[in-house]
Amino acid sequence: MGHVMLAKAACLATWMALTACGGDDAPAPAHDDAGHRTDAAAIDPADASPADPGIEPVGDLRRFDLVNPMCTVELWDSGAPCPVDDPKCLCRPEFDALNPAVGSPGNPGGRVVIIAQPRYGHRDDGSYAFDAYAAIKDKGNTVGHYVNALNPSASCTVAEAWTPDKGCTGGSGCGWRCIRGSDWADELVAREADTYGAYPAPALMALNEAWSTLYDPSDAGIYYRQFLRDLVVELEARGRVPLLYVQQRTGAAGPYTLLSEIGAHALIGVEAYLSGREVLSAPNQCAPPYDSSNWCTQQYAQMRNAIRNSASPPIPNSRLVMLEHFATNNWHYTDASGNRATACNGSGTGSSYRVEFAATYSAIPLP
């Protein structure tokens, strides 16, 4: 498992699987600003929607953990841990280990626990076996919302698209051409409010993930950066704190002015994933001290700086959130003989090991 580093006071670690050159940007075409709301008419967070019960604030918290519950109703009801042979599973014992009470080791002032929905384990009678929102609040922590599909899946002709060069034949790879970023932000806010119902909608909105088109110097890259810029501007205007996941890099692109604008309105989640095998084979196995001589520190710093310096001006370190990915499967695992796994098989470890690791991670104090 990789060690989690910080960009100043910012860190996010994901527990379960997430699903991962040119000069300045050209001036935005005149049509790019159509529908881009930045004036006094922007919607006030308190008036997000008539039925909105409020927003769950994130405050100044900068430790985030994405926890994706995956468990059967029977296991939720019994409180039992995950079976050894389950390829993807996170039940109550694993969840509790990643949701420590405020004041416990590693959690002095609370953290943001990011979930995709407030309740899990839907029963036939319409009730739910586990209320994750209430469990997070009971421990004094803050709820964040996870958006697994940042890029809209849509199709449109060139005439229907807001981008003048191309439309989209369908799918999420180019669906962003069919809807402006500000409108898609409004749709994400509406979906979030519907998902949380009577609960306050979380302010922290983790967005998975920006396509690699983000780093493309072509017109497509420029338009995609405009889409994301307008998206996070509108989310911020709606009282949200966007955390935009961006794909891992080891070298800078651009640098792009639009990427800098995105970083001004959203936290940038730097995907920086080191495999367990890399850590184990590294000099000193990435043990303390965590300074410039440490191999893991060097790798994380390289990936952070590649994203930071892809923007013009560079994105401030205070806006960068380092992401690590802890999974309970061997997806893309390569054994000592170089044989790569071809399917997402179970890790083969008992739940007690996973709970022990989660508890150890949760107790690590992060600045």
Radius of gyration over every alpha carbon of the chain, rounded to an integer in angstroms: 21
pLDDT at 272: 92
Q: Do residues 130 and 119 lie in contact, with contact meaning Cβ atoms separated by under 8 Å?
A: yes
Q: Is the pLDDT of residue 345 over 50?
A: no
Residue % of the chain over a pLDDT of 70:
78
pLDDT at 25: 38
Mean pLDDT of the region 68-76:
93
pLDDT at 83: 84
Give the chain's mean pLDDT: 83
Q: What are phi and psi of 346, to 5 degrees?
A: -60, 150
Across 72-106, b (16+ Cβ under 10 Å) vs e yields bbebbeeeebbeeebebbbbbbbbbbbbbeeeeee
Range among 52-56, 89-93, 97-101, 275-279 with highest mean pLDDT value = 97-101
Q: Is the pLDDT of residue 172 over 90?
A: no
> What's this model's pTM, rounded to 2 decimal places?
0.83
Q: pLDDT digits over 194-224, tens only?
A: 999 999 999 999 999 999 999 999 999 999 9
| Burial degree of 343 (CB within 10 A; 0-12, 13-18, 19+) | exposed
Model confidence band, residue 2 (pLDDT cutoffs 50, 70, 90): very low
Q: Is the pLDDT higher at 150 or at 330?
A: 150
According to DSSP, the β-strands at 63-66 and 112-115 are parallel
Q: Tell me the C-alpha to C-alpha distance, in Å, between residue 151 and each of 178, 185, 212, 215.
A: 11, 11, 12, 16
Q: Is the pLDDT of residue 258 over 80?
A: yes
SS3 329: strand
Domains in the chain: boundaries: 11-72+151-337
